[in-house]
């Protein structure tokens, strides 16, 4: 017990103070509940346990006072806080910081100034971190110290219960009867309805996912009406845009007065990488409505440069779009080769003419779960 008390004192002494702090367990739960469908998988409330492991034997739990852990996002990191059972935080400073290394697809935890340690997930909700791994002793044996975290909130059931029963987003025509949108919106849909085809919002068409790219959150939807023969004039700009480039976002924001009111949003590329340095995305300088998710982002010449992917709970006045170059891989994975227009016929047209032409290729999508 003395060792545990000393460890807690060391934690407090070396904690770093970050901009987002919480004064009570209620504040932490409010943050998690308010963002429950948009949380990173590492965020939540956990039961915390300490273990020792000799050689490769089964880890042995260390006796310690019952303390819960809250892990929450703060900008580009995740901070961990001790929580007592008395509904208050032990202190308002984090004792552990976790970063997501997107390019390695891993999470790394750093304890009060120590070296980063890889987070090892055990199932969907739980993880462990080896603070000291395979430390060799004088008798030839080795001993590791590890911390285990068992998530208690939100569970998978909590998240599913909070998920909306329906959703609205945007999609756009990329080839004959093929519509692009975000996979996360349509992946678990029982039905996908599309409106706005040929500027007709009274008529509803049914769509089916025929191909998807989970890593880049993209889906291709095929229209099920055999009488339709829709073609697209959209071209893809595969050249990386520089920071400061002007772009155009088209979509159907949920805040629009009517579903058939497409909205143009002028934006600027504020970063050539997305959330936490994600190289597959651009960061835009304004927050785009959730109804725009799945919609197209064009450069000034009217060529596709991205697909809206929404915003992150840890950022304000910013949104993200998947770089259009990653759509090529999804199109190339189809059994039949997709032929894209070789020339951007919109390049020389004034902005109003560009929008008039592109407007006819951007659709309103309704999803039921």
**What number is the average pLDDT over the span 265-286?**
91
The helix, strand and coil proportions of the chain, stated in percent and rounded to the nearest 5, come to 15, 40, 40
**What number is the average pLDDT over the span 223-245?**
92
CA atoms within 13 A on the CB side of 67: 19
pLDDT for residue 119: 93
Please say whether the beta carbons of 46 and 69 come within 8 A: yes
CA angle centred on 333, ends 336 and 295, rounded to 5°: 100
pLDDT at 54 over 80: yes
**What number is the average pLDDT over the span 166-188?**
93
pLDDT for residue 2: 30
Phi/psi zone of residue 38: left (φ > 0), alpha (ψ -120 to 50 degrees), beta? alpha
Range of weakest confidence among 131-140, 181-190, 284-293: 131-140
pLDDT at 18 over 90: no
- With a pLDDT cut of 90, the percent of the chain lying above it is 50
> Which residues, in sequence order, are bridge partners of residue 171?
363
| pLDDT classification of 45: cutoffs 50, 70, 90 | very high
DSSP string, 116-155: -EEEEEETTTEEEEEEEEEEEPTTS-EEEEEEEEEEEES-
pLDDT for residue 95: 79
pLDDT for residue 308: 95
- CA 224: distance to chain centroid? 30
Nearest to 31 by CA among 288, 317, 314: 314
3-state SS class at 231: coil
How far apart CA 293 and CA 364 sit, in angstroms, is 11
Stated as kind and residue range, the H or E segment containing 96 is strand 96-101
Range of weakest confidence among 103-107, 190-194, 332-336: 103-107
Nearest to 190 by CA among 210, 178, 205, 207: 207
pTM value is 0.63
pLDDT for residue 96: 87
Range of weakest confidence among 12-26, 110-124, 156-170, 331-345: 12-26
Phi/psi zone of residue 177: left (φ > 0), alpha (ψ -120 to 50 degrees), beta? left
- With a pLDDT cut of 70, the percent of the chain lying above it is 85
| pLDDT classification of 60: cutoffs 50, 70, 90 | confident
Question: pLDDT averaged over the chain?
Answer: 84
CA atoms within 13 A on the CB side of 81: 27
Full set of structural domains in the chain with CATH: 2-160 (no CATH), 166-368 (2.40.10.120)
pLDDT for residue 101: 84
Please say whether the beta carbons of 247 and 298 come within 8 A: yes
| pLDDT classification of 354: cutoffs 50, 70, 90 | very high
* pLDDT, tens only, 285-324: 988 888 899 999 999 999 999 999 976 655 667 899 999 9
pLDDT for residue 7: 32
pLDDT at 63 over 90: no
CA angle centred on 193, ends 360 and 257, rounded to 5°: 65
């Amino acid at each position: 017990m003395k060792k545990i008390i000393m460890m807690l004192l060391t934690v407090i002494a070396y904690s770093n103070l970050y901009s987002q702090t919480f004064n009570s367990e209620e504040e932490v739960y409010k943050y998690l509940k308010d963002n429950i469908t948009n949380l990173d998988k590492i965020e939540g409330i956990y039961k915390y346990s300490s273990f020792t492991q000799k050689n490769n034997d089964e880890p042995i739990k260390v006796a310690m006072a019952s303390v819960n852990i809250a892990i929450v996002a703060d900008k580009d990191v995740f901070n961990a806080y001790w929580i007592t059972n008395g509904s208050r935080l032990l202190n308002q400073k984090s004792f552990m910081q976790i970063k997501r290394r997107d390019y390695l697809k891993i999470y790394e935890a750093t304890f009060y100034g120590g070296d980063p340690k890889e987070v090892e997930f055990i199932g969907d909700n739980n993880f462990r971190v080896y603070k000291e791994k395979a430390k060799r002793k004088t008798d030839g044996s080795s001993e590791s110290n590890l911390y285990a975290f068992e998530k208690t909130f939100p569970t998978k059931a909590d998240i599913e219960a909070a998920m909306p029963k329906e959703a609205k987003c945007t999609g756009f025509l990329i080839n004959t009867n093929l519509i692009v949108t975000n996979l996360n919106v349509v992946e678990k849909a029982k039905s996908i309805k599309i409106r706005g085809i040929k500027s007709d919002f009274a008529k509803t068409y049914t769509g089916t996912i025929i191909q998807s790219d989970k890593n880049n959150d993209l889906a291709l939807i095929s229209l099920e009406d055999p009488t339709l023969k829709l073609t697209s004039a959209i071209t893809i700009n595969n050249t990386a845009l520089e920071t400061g480039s002007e772009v155009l976002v088209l979509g159907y924001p949920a805040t629009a007065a009517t579903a058939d009111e497409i909205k143009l949003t002028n934006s600027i590329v504020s970063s050539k990488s997305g959330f936490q340095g994600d190289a597959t995305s651009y960061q835009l300088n304004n927050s785009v409505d959730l109804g725009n998710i799945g919609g197209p982002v064009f450069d000034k010449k009217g060529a596709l440069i991205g697909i809206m992917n929404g915003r992150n709970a840890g950022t304000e006045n910013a949104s993200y779009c998947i770089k259009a170059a990653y759509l090529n891989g999804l199109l190339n994975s189809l059994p039949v080769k997709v032929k894209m227009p070789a020339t951007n016929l919109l390049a020389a047209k004034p902005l109003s003419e560009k929008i008039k032409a592109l407007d006819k290729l951007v659709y309103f999508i309704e999803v039921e779960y």
